[in-house]
Amino acid sequence: MIPQSQRDRNIIFVSMFGHEIGNETMGQAAFVERHANLQGNLSILWDDLLKSGPKDPFEALRYSLEMIISHHEQSEVRTGCLIGNLAAEISEASDLCRQKMHHAMTVWKDRVSKQISQGQTMGTIRGDISADALTEFIWNAWEGALLNMKIVNSTAPVKECISLLFDFFLKP
């Protein structure tokens, strides 16, 4: 059975590449509709992960990312990040779609930045670098590790990323 995220991605690509790209087309309209559904599902996933994990923001972030790694370990296909995958494929083809991916990324970053800021206030996350700068670094490291995971077909790169981030880089 094809994972839901893979089916969603396939539907988006068929919708987009089956029509003219670059204008306000049916493909873009289909993408925008699918984006709203995917964004809602991603928000629910993150909310559930943060609620079910430890209360400390530092530990909650680590727990959430480790649960995502666990999902990848249980999957036959290492799909990576849906936002990153779609953004890499369609950002140059359509400004509207690029904006939607930017919005999805911003929602993710805002959620992480809020956790980091709370952790900084509590003293569990280093405070000498702004929450926004730390969030940007985490996004870049995480997305790079996910890409590497897909290439080597192993979760080792994302595990190492999490270890370096949480055992060294983010600690006060």
Asked if pLDDT for residue 46 goes beyond 50, the answer is: yes
Output 78 or 169, whichever has higher pLDDT: 169
Q: What is the structure's pLDDT at 68?
A: 82
For the beta carbon of residue 113, count every other beta carbon within 10 angstroms.
20
C-beta of residue 5 within 8 angstroms of C-beta of residue 70? no
| Residue 117 confidence class, pLDDT cut points 50, 70, 90 | very high
Q: What is the pLDDT of residue 11?
A: 46
- The DSSP secondary structure of 21-77, one letter per residue, reads SSSS-HHHHHHHHHHHHHHHHHHHHHHHHHHHS-SSHHHHHHHHHHHHHHHHHH-SS
Annotated domain spans of the chain: 4-17+24-169
pTM: 0.69
Instruction: Note the pLDDT tens digit of each residue in 150-160.
Output: 889 899 999 99
CA distance 144 to 142: 5
Nearest to 43 by CA among 7, 2, 83, 97: 83
Indicate the CATH number of 4-17+24-169 among 1.10.357.10, 3.30.200.20, 1.10.40.50, 3.90.1170.50: 1.10.357.10
Q: What are the tokens at 75?
A: 């999957």
Determine the length of the chain. 172
Nearest to 6 by CA among 91, 93, 76, 67: 76
pLDDT of residue 87: 60
> Tokens representing 81?
């990040």
Check pLDDT > 50 for residue 37. Answer: yes
pLDDT per residue as tens digits for the range 122-170: 999 999 999 999 999 999 999 899 889 988 989 999 999 999 999 999 9
Q: How much is the pLDDT for 31?
A: 52
- Pick 95 or 93 by higher pLDDT: 95
